[in-house]
Chain A
Amino acid sequence: MTITPPSPAQPSSQVFEYAPAPESRSIVDIAPSYGLFVDGEFVDGSGEAMKTVNPATEEVLSEVAVGTEADVDRAVRAARRAFTRVWGPMRPADRGKYLFRIARLLQERAREFAVLESLDNGKPIRESRDVDVPLAAAHFFYHAGWADKLEHAGLGPAPRPLGVAGQVIPWNFPLLMLAWKVAPALATGNTVVLKPAETTPLTALLFAEVCRQADLPPGVVNIVTGAGDTGRAVVEHDDVDKVAFTGSTEVGRSIARAVAGTRKKLTLELGGKAANIVFDDAPIDQAVEGIVQGIFFNQGHVCCAGSRLLVQENVHDEVIASLQRRIGTLRVGDPLDKNTDLGAINSAEQLARVRELSDIGEAEGATRWQPDCQLPDRGFWFPPTVFTGVSPAHRIARDEVFGPVLSVLTFRTPDEAVAKANNSTYGLSAGIWSEKGSRILAIADRLRAGVVWANTFNQFDPTSPFGGYKQSGYGREGGRHGLAAYLSTGDEQ
């Protein structure tokens, strides 16, 4: 298959011109069609196959099977068999060794995964290569070590696996979210039925191949591709013991309703509207880098994105001027170009949502600013965007845009900053920029958010628990805390 890379957009006032530096896509071999991965084999799905496209070009990458209720049932039965006969009884140290193998295989095939992720998702190769894939491998390596040490995890003397985990993941970090779900589930002795996102199934299917290369016993990991109906079938299957979901708060609510009254254990990682608070004593240049990293990383398709900038009033103009200057140097374009900072919006549907909320922002009275940059003709694109003059009542200050759109609000006192930061139904993450340590710690104490980044933003690590307060969900992923989501500790009541 040949795909013409989109021409990179050229910021208007570049001091240095960049020559195109595309990563070769010859390292990946995309099949014309893919089946479901059930019980160690690729099998046909019963639904009508769906197409997955490269959002940077709108070209079809492959056809992917759609799992129906019957397909999900087969996958759950395979997972149950594997749990009862193989994975459950296995020596924990051996379970760990399989995970170590997977971690190594991900590292060995890292470039292939990175290119495939950028093709299917639209994210810059710099991010898939330096963040998504290395972190996914790190998650498996980290959890591998837990497999035979669970009785030391502080979750009771004899924590037990739950059984079959049904997992539904989003499109913004397809492989990384798979790793966040699959690694802890397997390390704690559970087996898995995973439903990747409709628009980004390819790295999960390549991961299935890694499971085969690792000789992972059949049925331990099952991957059922499809859209919302497939996900619903996974969540609602009677023989699933544990449901883990990352995605929108709206879908999270319907999942919480669906598992009500069952024995299923549920963890949810949902939306966010993080405040990124800049005090007047912050080093402005560092803060601006952090603001850019906070909102434009992964095109803002990040649940913990720093989408509400709260800047102290007396440095507002200075921060905004510096921020606009910096945004003017961002390169939007070909995700496979190693110089690209912002890639494509993941889908036409998401692009429509970003456009709609931005238009509402303007209609409600905020001021839109975008750098002068050319976007490629084909594909789904949205320029980095800053709204100033945003009031806390505006939709763009309350709703998750899930795109490269920053809303700027101001504050005068630390109390006002905390009140505005906490004025959200979400509580996933927050940022603080200040040179004063005592202030950082005091503000961090008062923010109702699960992750607080001080003088940094959007950092992730498998040892570091991640998850939300309030309507951003419950349960943690990563660290000792993340194991609890997949274990029965015996003192739940």
Chain B
Amino acid sequence: MIGGERLAVRKTYKLYLGGAFPRSESGRTYEVHDAKGAFLANAARASRKDARDAVVAARGAFPKWSGATAYNRGQVLYRVAEVMEGRHAQFCEEVAAGEGLSAGRARAAVDAAIDRWVWYAGWTDKLAAVLGSANPVAGPYFDFSLPEPTGVVAVLAPQRSSLLGLVSVLAPVLAGGNTAVVVTSRERPLPAVTLGEVLATSDVPGGVVNLLTGDAAELGPWLAEHDDVDAIDLTGAPPERAMEFEREAAGSIKRVLRPPAAEPDWSGDPGLGRMRTFLETKTVWHPKGF
């Protein structure tokens, strides 16, 4: 360009894996277009190896994240909302382009996504009180039950709602203390990569969230059968493949969140269902006596 406006510096959209932003080890990329078909960017197309590396990173991050105090986890998730707020305009632009929304509706989606982090941030230190129990057993024992995170959760994120949907499936996994390997919307991956940049600067330890841009149909089977993945959310699975993925997941007795009949409207009250799906209950007994 000669004279006139400044030439923009474009972003390279990469994976977010183990707290870093690598390209796919496979070297593969794919074109991402806006809702009208115009070229937006080349996104990294994550491979099976990337998915396996992401599971290693998520497993490595699990002891620290699950062992953090609930108060600390809440503050970190709140920090995500704070940092997102600062990038509000960028998210609006990416969501509007990718999902073909008006500026007003894109803004509403971004607002709701930020507010969702705040909602879940407030849950971390209430789960044990709401989902736990003191059990009045018929004997001289102190007996209590507490929720604990399931472990490494693979998430096939919604295909349509690229940011609000993504946050709505990721935040409940993190609030309970799990770590996540997420396959983002195939056609609309760009807000997810920007969210990765937010997570990287929000005190979320590296490896707690791993974002793989690419195809749920390609990566789903590897994550579903992976022995070191404890649970899988099939929300964004291709509907005709969901049963196959659930079958694969049975091999290691994974907790499976089945896909909804159609992608829901994410603006509603989330409820506790998603958090509960990725929580275990531990019961501890101890005798009472002098």
CB within 8 Å of B: which residues of A? Answer: 138, 154, 156, 249, 252-254, 256-257, 260-261, 268, 270, 425, 440, 444, 449-456, 459, 461, 463-467, 469-474, 476, 479-481, 484, 489-493
Contact = CB atoms under 8 A, between A and B. Distances in A.
Interface centre among A268, A451, A476 (most CB of B within 10 A): A451
Contacts of B138: 138, 461, 463
A168 to B, nearest CB: 16
A337 B257 CA distance: 49
Given A256-B253, A470-B230, A492 B273 contact: yes
Contacts of B130: 154
Contact of A451 (B136, B253, B285, B287): B285
A261 B224 CA distance: 14
A470 B283 contact: no
B155 to A, nearest CB: 14
Given A253-B250, A455-B287, A456-B286, A481 B281 contact: yes
Nearest to A249: B253
A260 B136 CA distance: 36
Interface stretch (B118-126, B209-217, B240-248): B240-248
B53 interface: no
B271 interface: yes
B34 interface: no
Please indicate which of the listed interface residues B139, B253, B255, B287 has the most CB atoms of chain A within 10 Å of its own CB. B253
6 contacts: A260-B256, A452-B285, A463-B137, A471-B252, A489-B271, A493-B274
B75 interface: no
Given A450-B280, A451-B285, A481-B133, A471 B271 contact: no
A456 B141 contact: yes
Given A257-B247, A260-B243, A450-B281, A463 B135 contact: yes
Interface of B: 130-131, 133, 135-139, 141, 143, 145, 150, 230, 235, 242-243, 246-247, 249-253, 255-257, 260, 264, 270-274, 276-277, 280-287
Contacts of B271: 156, 489-491
B136 to A, nearest CB: 5
A444 B148 CA distance: 12
Contacts of B281: 450, 465, 467, 476, 481
Contacts of B284: 444, 451-454
Contact of A480 (B133, B230, B235, B252): B133
Contacts of B235: 493
A465 B243 contact: no
A261 B264 contact: no
A256 B139 CA distance: 36
A493 B268 CA distance: 11
A156 B276 CA distance: 12
Contacts, number: 121
B137 A461 contact: yes
Contact of A464 (B131, B250, B273, B283): B283
A137 B43 CA distance: 61
A87 B217 CA distance: 43
Contacts of B253: 249, 252-253, 256, 268, 270, 470-474
Contacts of B255: 474
Nearest to A270: B253
Nearest to A268: B253
A62 B264 CA distance: 55
Contacts of B141: 456, 459
A451 B283 contact: yes
A205 B171 CA distance: 48
A270 to B, nearest CB: 7
A493 B250 contact: no
Contacts of B247: 257, 260-261
Given A156-B271, A452-B284, A491-B270, 9 more contacts: A257-B247, A261-B247, A425-B252, A450-B280, A464-B137, A464-B145, A470-B230, A489-B271, A493-B260
Given A261-B246, A465-B145, A474-B255, A479 B133 contact: yes
B283 A465 contact: yes
A26 B130 CA distance: 50
Contacts of B143: 461, 463-464
A220 B222 CA distance: 42
B228 to A, nearest CB: 11
A453 B144 CA distance: 11
Contacts of B133: 465, 479-481
B285 A469 contact: no
A270 B257 CA distance: 20
A252 B145 CA distance: 24
